[in-house]
Every structure is written in C-alpha cells, then in structure tokens.
C-alpha cells in the first residue's frame, strides 16, 4: 500500500485506504478494522498528500514528518498518542523544531503520532522509506547521466572550437 492511497475523513477516527471509486463517491477500507463502506462526495475527505504541518517558514508535508519520526525512532513506533500534552509538545519539538506552536495544537500532534504508529504497524512507513531510497538512487543515476552528457557536450564544443580555428 502506498501513502498516496490513504485518506482521512472528517469526523471519523481512523485512516482509510481507497479501494475504488463509485458514481457518487469512494469505497474505502479502514486500516484499523478492515471494514469497507462508501464515502459520499458530500463528506470532507483529505488525502495524505495534501496534509502538512505548519512551520515558522513554510509547511512540511506529512510524509516528510513521518520520515523524521522514523529516523528519530530508528524504525520503531513513536510515543503513545495519549501521553500528556507537554510531553507531546516536546516530542514534536524534537521532530520538527520550527513547527508553528500557535497553529499546531496538541490534538494535531496526537493525530500525527496515532497515524504514524498505525502506519508503522501495518508497514506503510517502511514502504515510504524504501520508496524514498529508491528515488534517491534514481536521482543519483539521473544526475550522473546528466553530468556525462554535459561533459560530452562541452568536449564536443571544445573540439569544434579547435577545428574551426
């Protein structure tokens, strides 16, 4: 399962995977209890790719925050989401030191930690990290190819300049 397939539904406590689309909405499955049900177009649905955490400079996508938690916890679960508010704020400060303390409430941090622990438990976080490593490898290969092409082009220009003199 990819993180792009995961949504949250306003007023519902869990995370959901999109199973299919219907004429008037979506068919989703709860990641916690695996129950399927329809979600209608009138309901407020947010894709994980659209959710981010406010910081003092900009906002950080949720999947990047999850990567930071994964790194901090060395691949294990995060703290309990029912921990006292001051501990949760301190934890958030360790993960994202420049998070906007006026816009990010304790309830947001609780959701973040709860979601991370659920996704870590079912293997989505590991998949996210794996994809990130694969993308980094592809980018390195791509950059190496671009450098070779640039180098070859510069060599050809130099040779053309020498022959035209």
Hey, where are the domains in the chain? 3-48, 51-122
CA distance readout (Å), 116 to 71, 109, 146: 12, 10, 37
| Rg, Å, the chain Cα set | 22
Instruction: Please state the rounded mean pLDDT for residues 154-164.
Output: 65
Q: How confident is the model at residue 134 (pLDDT cuts 50, 70, 90)?
A: confident
Greater model confidence, 155 or 119: 119
Instruction: Please state the rounded mean pLDDT for residues 79-104.
Output: 94
**What is the bridge-based pairing of β-strands 36-40 and 45-47?**
unpaired
pTM for this entry: 0.78
> Could you give phi then psi for residue 12, rounded to 5 degrees?
-115, 140
Q: Over the stretch 20-49, which tens digit does the pLDDT of each residue have? A: 998 889 999 999 999 999 999 899 999 988
- Cβ atoms of 101 and 56 within 8 Å: the answer is no
**What are 162's two structure tokens?**
């020498």
- Cβ atoms of 31 and 14 within 8 Å: the answer is yes
Report d(CA 99, CA 69) in Å as an integer: 14
Query: Does pLDDT of 122 surpass 70?
Result: yes
Does the 51-122 domain belong in CATH 1.10.10.1650?
yes
Query: Does pLDDT of 72 surpass 90?
Result: yes
Report d(CA 48, CA 61) in Å as an integer: 9
Matching residue, tokens 């003199």? 165
CATH class entry, domain 3-48 = mainly beta
Report d(CA 93, CA 107) in Å as an integer: 15
Q: At what angle do helices 106-121 and 124-164 cross, to 10 degrees?
A: 90
């Amino acid at each position: 399962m990819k993180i792009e397939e995961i949504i949250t539904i306003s007023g519902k406590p869990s995370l959901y995977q999109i199973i299919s689309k219907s004429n008037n909405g979506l068919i989703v499955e709860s990641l916690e209890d695996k129950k399927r049900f329809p979600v209608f177009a009138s309901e407020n649905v947010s894709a994980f790719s659209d959710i981010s955490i406010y910081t003092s400079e900009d906002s950080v996508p949720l999947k990047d925050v999850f990567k930071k938690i994964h790194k901090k916890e060395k691949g294990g679960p995060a703290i309990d989401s029912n921990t006292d508010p001051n501990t949760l704020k301190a934890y958030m400060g360790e993960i994202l030191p420049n998070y906007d303390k006026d816009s990010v409430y304790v309830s947001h941090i609780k959701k973040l930690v709860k979601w991370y622990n659920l996704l870590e438990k079912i293997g989505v976080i590991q998949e996210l990290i794996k994809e990130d490593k694969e993308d980094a490898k592809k980018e390195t290969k791509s950059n190496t190819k671009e450098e070779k092409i640039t180098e070859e082009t510069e060599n050809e220009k130099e040779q053309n300049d020498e022959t035209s003199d």
